[in-house]
Amino acid sequence: MDYSETQDVRRVMVDDKEIILVGTAHISRDSVETVRRVIESEMPDTVCVELDPQRHQALKDGNRWQSLNLIQVIRKGQGPFLLANLALASFQKRMGLSTGVKPGAELAEAAELGEARGCEVRLVDRDIRTTLLRAWRKTGIWRKMNMVATLVAGMFEKQKLDETQLAALRQTDTLSAMLDEMGAVLPSVKTILVDERDEYMAYHIRRSPGQKVVAVVGAAHLPGILRLLDTDIRPEKIAELSSIPRRTALSRFLPWVIPAVVIGLFVIGFYFGDRDQFAGAALAWFLANGILTSLGAAIAFGHPLTVATAFVAAPFTSLNPTIGAGFVTGMVQACVASPTVRDLEQVSEDMATLRGWWSNRMTRVMLVFLFSSLGSALGTIVAFNWLKNLI
């Protein structure tokens, strides 16, 4: 295996197949131009792109939000997944504003140009939902909290990068240092978001048809894919990387343990404790859950009916692991303050600003979902402590 290098383009010979790897930044105009230049000059048999079908469709369909049924999304329990996608898209959108390039433009350019030139186009990245679920289910509780906090902060963080900074970030030594730092703080997340996808993409790039292949991937994946291209990765390993791990026994049973303990304390208090203390404990449970959950809905500028529903529903949803407070409040908000056509058309632009998240009815539904869920979790913790002291 040998290859000649430039800053962003690596040429590799594997099994008599010539593979040209193009490392990009997803909001860089230079990356778009590099992709175009490489494909036009190399005229490959196959163009591989760091996309899965869902993300590819999202890049092709600028009006995808207009067909989104929020009520169905929440009803199917996909609210957290949608929120994570919106947060990631929001972060990339804000960075893209500083360069004037739509996030993922170079990937879309690679796919479109490959099709126009008659090349075979292969989407070689793992399904985004699989990646996010593997990251979530293989991460411990404290690191999950860190992930959520980072994700929420990323929704509102201001970040600007110019082409010079992006060029520096594409340098292998800079990226390696950043990835090493990420691996030290969140090792399981780095493994799943970067290392596993390196392996998945290297496998599919190597097995792409034709004698010459151009593969367009994020610069962070370039070192790993280069290292893995001449490795004999077994199909069984790719099948494992494509699977969603089962929830651990603790994560399956814990949501039932807390309600069982609370109900048990109520039963003990009713039959064996002081009835006045029992009444105080019940009131504490209702108030802590209701007030903090409705406060979360209010922070998200939820409709008054949504805030009232949060107050009434939270004490009961906290005792039912199958229905969360965010599910109820999100459904109510989506019904009483449905997104307008304008909201759906402008969501990509609105979510790039802090004000836009609150002014757009679609993203406001997701904020109601998020903040009422956080309020309910906090309310359960506070109420549980009161309950132990009163009974």
Tens digits of per-residue pLDDT, 30-81? 888 899 999 999 999 999 999 999 888 877 765 555 556 677 777 777 677 6
Mean pLDDT (10-residue bins), the chain, 391 residues: 60 91 82 91 94 84 61 72 68 54 82 93 91 78 64 59 52 47 60 90 95 92 91 93 81 72 70 67 85 94 94 89 86 87 72 80 88 90 71 53
In angstroms, the Cα distances linking 114 to 120, 161, 167, 357 are: 7, 28, 24, 36
Q: State the pLDDT at residue 235.
A: 93
**pLDDT of the residue at 181:** 47
What is the model's pLDDT at position 71? 72
Question: For residue 113, which of 46, 63, 179 has the smallest C-alpha distance?
Answer: 46
Euclidean distance between the first and the last CA atom of the chain, given in angstroms as a whole number = 71
The amino acid occupying position 331 is: M
Q: How far apart are CA 133 and CA 147, in angstroms?
A: 13
Evaluate the CA torsion angle 75, 78, 84, 88 in order and state its sign. negative
Residue 171 to residue 344: CA distance in whole angstroms:
38
Region class of 246: left (phi > 0), else alpha (psi between -120 and 50), else beta: beta
3-state helix, strand, coil in the chain (%, to 5): 70, 10, 25
Amino acid 173: pLDDT: 45
pLDDT at 2: 39
- pLDDT of amino acid 67: 56
Could you give phi then psi for residue 24, rounded to 5 degrees? -130, 165
Which residues in 96-118 are b (16+ Cβ under 10 Å) and which e?
bbbbebbbbbbbbbbbbbbeeee
